[in-house]
Every structure is written in C-alpha cells, then in structure tokens.
C-alpha cells in the first residue's frame, strides 16, 4: 500500500513529458483552422485545442498560422516545414509619436490600404466612418452585423465587421474586430482595443511603443 502511494506521489510530482515533435508541415490554412502533418500524422488544428502531440494553433487565416510548440510561438505560411528546434522569435516593435494635439497618431493600413490611425484606448474596436470603409472596399452592409454604438454625438448606427489585416509599423494582426460608423465621424480611424489588446503597449511620454506578443 505504501509503495503504491509512493508511486502515485511520484506520478503527481513528475508528470509524463509531452510527446516530442520532430517535424510539422503546413498543408492547408483556413480561418481559425490549419491542416498539418505532425511527424507523419495528419491533424486538423483548431484554435486553442492542443493536438495529442501538444501542438497548439493560436491564430490562422488563409495566408499564415501562428503555432505554439513547447511554449514557443512562430508564424508559418503554407508549405512551411517546422522544426521542433524552435528559436525564440524576435519581438516586433512599432513607434507612434505624439502629434500637435497631444494624441498618438500614425499612418498604418487596413487590408493593405493606407489609413490614418488615432490611438484610442476608449474604443472597444477599430472604428472607421462609412466613407473610409467604402474607399477601402469593405462590404460592411453585406458582411457586417447591424449594431448601434455610443459616440460623442450619442447613439449612432454602425456595422460590426471583421477586418482581414490591420497593420501599424511592422506589426500586422489578422481577423481584427471593427466598427463601421455611418457618417463622417470619426474623421481618423480609431485604433481601438480589438487591436491594442493583442499587443503590449509602453507609453514613454513622447512616444508610444507597441510590441508584438509573438
């Protein structure tokens, strides 16, 4: 009985190690899914659902996927061969200067097209007016969800959409929640928390640094 108890304590204190992964091949990419081959075994990875080998899909679209192995995350594209010998990925940093109005503003892009961003931690999502959305070719009335948002002018009709790509400096995020607000406001696109919550912010007074999380 004592021996059995001792073995149980050893199992609790020293759990069996995760299966070692030697090679991963990216075969197909979808929104929030990735078809991969892990050491010769095909797996369909879904967001935040570890495979039996301990491989975790963090983010994915039709172009690239973020995969975590042994606590390390890297970005991989279709056809990539992933070695289990992971090197720590470099963090990407974007610098945003204060403008004459004492706000943080910068030029970035949405879906590959340039926009002027105003950093707004009070905005729950990236927010743009309907004129900018039309210029960017966002079919917000077709693909968006009709909602109402609270603005400085009161409750305003808007559409909730998913933006394929939002980029500031070298930091690019996929599948970012956005609001398209009917009318001419906001005049600059608000870089809200649907983007900012996925990066690390460092306010240095005259400069705001945004650091990628992986």
Model pLDDT for residues 14-59, shown as the tens digit of each residue: 343 445 677 888 888 888 898 888 888 889 999 889 888 888 998 8
Give me the residue spans of the domains in the chain: 2-83, 93-212
For residue 106, what pLDDT band results from cuts at 50, 70 and 90? Answer: very high
Options 3.40.1410.10, 3.50.50.60, 2.60.120.380, 2.40.70.10; CATH for 93-212 is 2.40.70.10
Check residues 151 and 42 and name the one with the higher pLDDT. 42
pLDDT higher than 70, residue 83: no
User: What strand order describes the sheet that includes 81-83?
Assistant: 41-46, 33-38, 23-30, 81-83
pLDDT higher than 70, residue 84: no
HEC sequence for the chain: CHHHHHHHHHHHHCCCCCCCCCEEEEEEEECCEEEEEECCEEEEEEECECCCCCCEEEEECCCEEEEEECCEEEEEECCCEEECCCCCCCCCEEEEEECCCCCEEEEEEECCEEEEEEECCCCCCEEEEHHHHHHHCCCHHHHCEEEEEEECCEEEEEEEEEEEEEEECCEEEEEEEEEEECCCCCCCEEECHHHHCCEEEEECCCEEEEEECC
Could you give the percent of the chain with pLDDT greater than 90? 50
CATH match of 2-83 with 1.10.260: no
Q: pLDDT at position 16, please?
A: 38
pLDDT higher than 70, residue 148: yes
How close are the terminal C-alpha atoms of the chain, in Å?
48
The pLDDT mean for the chain works out to 84
In this prediction, residues 90-103 reach a mean pLDDT of 88
209 burial type by CB count under 10 A (0-12 exposed, 13-18 middle, 19+ buried): middle
The tokens for 54 are 């301990």
Q: Give CA 4 to chain center in angstroms.
A: 47
Answer yes or no: same fold for 2-83 and 93-212: no
pLDDT higher than 60, residue 197: yes
Q: pLDDT at position 79, please?
A: 64
pLDDT higher than 90, residue 89: no
Q: pLDDT at position 5, please?
A: 38
Q: pLDDT at position 10, please?
A: 35
Q: pLDDT at position 17, please?
A: 42
Check residues 111 and 7 and name the one with the higher pLDDT. 111
Q: pLDDT at position 186, please?
A: 94
Q: pLDDT at position 2, please?
A: 46
Q: pLDDT at position 77, please?
A: 78
Among 40-44, 164-168, 198-202, 206-210, where is mean pLDDT lowest? 40-44
The number of beta carbons lying within 10 Å of the beta carbon of residue 151 is: 16
């Amino acid at each position: 009985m004592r021996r059995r108890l001792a073995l149980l304590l050893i199992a609790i204190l020293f759990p069996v190690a995760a299966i070692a992964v030697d090679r991963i091949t990216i075969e197909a990419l979808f929104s929030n899914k990735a078809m991969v081959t892990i050491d010769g075994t095909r797996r369909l990875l879904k967001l935040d659902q570890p495979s039996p080998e301990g491989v975790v899909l963090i983010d994915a679209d039709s172009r690239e996927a973020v995969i975590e192995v042994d606590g390390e995350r890297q970005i991989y594209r279709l056809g990539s061969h992933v070695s289990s010998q992971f090197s720590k990925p470099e963090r990407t940093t974007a610098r945003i200067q204060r403008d004459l109005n004492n706000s943080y503003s910068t030029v970035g892009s949405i879906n590959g097209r340039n926009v002027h961003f105003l950093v707004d931690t009070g905005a729950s999502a990236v927010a743009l007016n309907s004129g900018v959305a039309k210029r960017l070719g966002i079919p917000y009335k077709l693909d968006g969800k009709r909602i109402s948002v609270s603005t400085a002018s009161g409750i305003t009709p808007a559409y909730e959409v998913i933006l394929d790509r939002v980029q500031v400096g070298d930091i690019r995020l996929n599948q970012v929640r956005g609001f398209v607000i009917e009318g001419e406001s906001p005049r600059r696109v608000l870089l809200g928390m649907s983007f900012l919550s996925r990066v690390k912010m460092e306010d240095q007074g005259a400069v705001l640094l945004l650091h990628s999380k992986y």
